[in-house]
């Protein structure tokens, strides 16, 4: 396939599979490993694109299915794409709509042709999302990275349906490639499916690699599966996928997941977690999460996190944000800003540690700070890191 990106590996960890890269896309550079905040319909909830730019974000997500419903493909065509629509001059990645097969399963009917959705807005109108229509929508949105439409099943699904979805995803990729009208300005990524079956994952990687797309994503995870299986699927895929292409693990956003998957060789992540948890009053910090709705913060005049330079931490106290979180939407806005700043800073620190070849010690310190004691370390994370020569307990 044609590619509208270049990607150079800048540094490699001498111990694990972690690496730092420079991804050049049509709307500028992206430093990897990178966390991509999710702006479903053109903005993160509670954050303007301008604020996101001020936080140093180089790439964000939009959702094809939701933008296709509102504002509609016609309007996006009129205004010249989502960059113009939301006044965002940096990079965009669009989810193809495949994930909605899981999240909106009760409203969806899946066939070889595509997936027919009943609108969640009026429960009457329908959208037939085929591979061709998904790509057409994404061409209209104008994202720098677009995703194939894949047949997505819940990660805890077993039996013949998993293999059916994997095989169909391969067939749908071929249809996506044929439908893609803008390979000179938009990069189509394949998505590796196969559930928790290692043989199916291997088969899917073999087939997708033959299509030689500009990058590859690991899909179908983060849906409630056992984490000790989750990491084994991730590391299998990073072992088998081409080393000269960026690898994107979809739906990853927890601190420990970002650190571990970077050690396993993943370059890109996305998740709604930082803004979704903010709406419940939860602030992310290097020492763990703080529920600022709790009355114990009512007289706490510290910032959310001392070393954070986001506007919430520079200008407001936990006490003020506690009051606003329990009474006004501005509280969730400030926590959302902080949480995204936290995620972006974590990724900067990961990259710097890899460049300076001190990533194993960084991982150990991060886990020590975040969990407090070794007894609280997740067993799956210990196992995953040990597989790439980082012993958390040594």
Q: For 41-86, write each residue's pLDDT tens digit.
A: 778 888 999 999 999 999 999 998 889 888 999 999 999 999 999 9
> How many other CB atoms are found less than 10 A from the CB of residue 286?
17
- CB 354 within 8 Å of CB 31: no
For residue 54, tell me if it sits in a domain: yes
Render pLDDT for 255-297 as a digit per residue (tens, 0 to 9).
Answer: 999 999 999 999 999 999 999 999 999 999 999 999 999 999 9
Q: What residues are annotated to the active site?
A: 95, 270
Q: Is the pLDDT of residue 216 over 70?
A: yes
| 185 is annotated as contributing to ligand binding | no
Q: Is the domain of 156 the same as that of 125?
A: yes
Those residues whose C-beta lies under 8 Å from the C-beta of residue 269, and which sit 6 or more positions away, are 33, 34, 35, 36, 248, 249, 252, 253, 257, 258, 261
| Residue located via tokens 């699904």 | 157
Q: Report which secondary-structure segment, H or E, holds 238.
A: helix 227-240
pLDDT at 44: 87
Same-domain status, 107 and 147: yes
Residue 210 maps to a domain: yes
Whether 231 and 260 have beta carbons less than 8 Å apart is answered as yes
- Tell me how far CA of residue 147 lies from CA of 135, 218, 246, 314, in angstroms: 8, 11, 13, 37
- Specify which residues 154 forms β-bridges with: none
* Tokens linked to 176: 């996506």
95 is in an annotated binding site: yes
> Is residue 308 part of an annotated ligand binding site?
yes
Q: Please state, for a pLDDT cut of 70, what percent of the chain lies above it.
A: 96
Tell me whether residue 265 is annotated as binding: no
Same domain, 200 and 233: yes
Q: What is the mean pLDDT of residues 11-24?
A: 98
Sorting pLDDT into bands at 50, 70 and 90, what band is 97?
confident
- Centroid of chain to Cα 182: 23
pLDDT at residue 100 tops 70: no
**DSSP assignment of 147-187, as one string?**
E-------TT--SHHHHHHHHHHHHHHHHHHHH---TTT-E
Which residue among 209, 238, 271 closes a domain?
Answer: 271
Q: Are residues 349 and 266 in the same domain?
A: no
Residues 358 and 218 reside in one and the same domain: no
pLDDT of residue 319: 97
Mean of the per-residue pLDDT values of the chain = 93
Query: Are 298 and 158 contained in the same domain?
Result: no
Residue 133 placed within a domain: yes
Does 237 belong to an annotated binding site? no
CB-CB contact of 283 with 306 (8 Å): no
Verify that 153 and 122 share a domain, yes or no.
yes
pTM attached to this predicted model:
0.94
Q: Domain residues for 315?
A: 281-368
């Amino acid at each position: 396939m044609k590619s509208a990106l270049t990607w150079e590996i800048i540094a490699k960890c001498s111990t694990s599979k972690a690496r730092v890269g420079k991804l050049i896309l049509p709307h500028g550079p992206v430093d990897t490993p990178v966390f991509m905040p999710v702006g479903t319909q053109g903005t993160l909830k509670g954050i303007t694109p301008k604020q996101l730019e001020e936080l140093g974000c180089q790439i964000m997500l939009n959702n094809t299915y939701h933008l296709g419903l509102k504002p509609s493909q016609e309007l996006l065509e009129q205004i010249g794409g989502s960059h113009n629509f939301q006044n965002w001059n940096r990079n965009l990645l669009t989810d193809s709509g495949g994930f909605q097969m899981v999240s909106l399963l009760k409203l969806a009917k899946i066939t070889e042709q595509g997936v027919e959705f009943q609108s969640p807005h009026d429960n009457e109108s329908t959208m037939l999302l085929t591979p061709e229509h998904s790509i057409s929508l994404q061409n209209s949105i104008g994202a720098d990275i677009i995703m194939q439409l894949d047949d997505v099943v819940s990660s805890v699904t077993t039996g013949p349906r998993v293999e059916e979805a994997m095989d169909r995803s391969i067939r749908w990729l071929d249809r996506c490639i044929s439908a893609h009208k803008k390979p000179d300005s938009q990069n189509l990524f394949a998505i590796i499916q196969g559930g928790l079956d290692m043989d199916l994952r291997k088969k899917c990687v073999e087939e997708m690699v033959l299509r030689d797309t500009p990058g590859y994503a690991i899909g179908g995870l983060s849906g409630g599966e056992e984490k000790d299986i989750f990491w084994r699927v991730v590391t299998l895929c990073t072992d088998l996928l081409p080393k000269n292409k960026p690898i994107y693990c979809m739906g990853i956003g927890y601190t420990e997941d970002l650190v571990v998957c970077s050690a396993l060789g993943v370059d890109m992540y996305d998740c709604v977690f930082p803004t979704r948890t903010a709406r419940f009053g939860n602030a992310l910090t290097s020492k763990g999460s703080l529920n600022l709705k709790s009355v114990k913060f009512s007289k706490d005049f510290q910032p959310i996190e001392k070393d954070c330079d986001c506007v919430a931490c520079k200008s407001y106290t936990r006490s003020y944000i506690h009051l606003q979180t329990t009474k006004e939407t501005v509280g969730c806005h400030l926590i959302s800003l902080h949480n995204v700043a936290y995620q972006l800073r974590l990724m900067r620190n990961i990259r710097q540690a890899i460049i300076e070849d001190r990533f194993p010690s960084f991982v150990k310190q991060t886990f020590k700070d975040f969990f407090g004691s070794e007894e609280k370390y997740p067993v799956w994370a210990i196992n995953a890191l040990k597989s790439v020569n980082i012993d958390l307990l040594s």
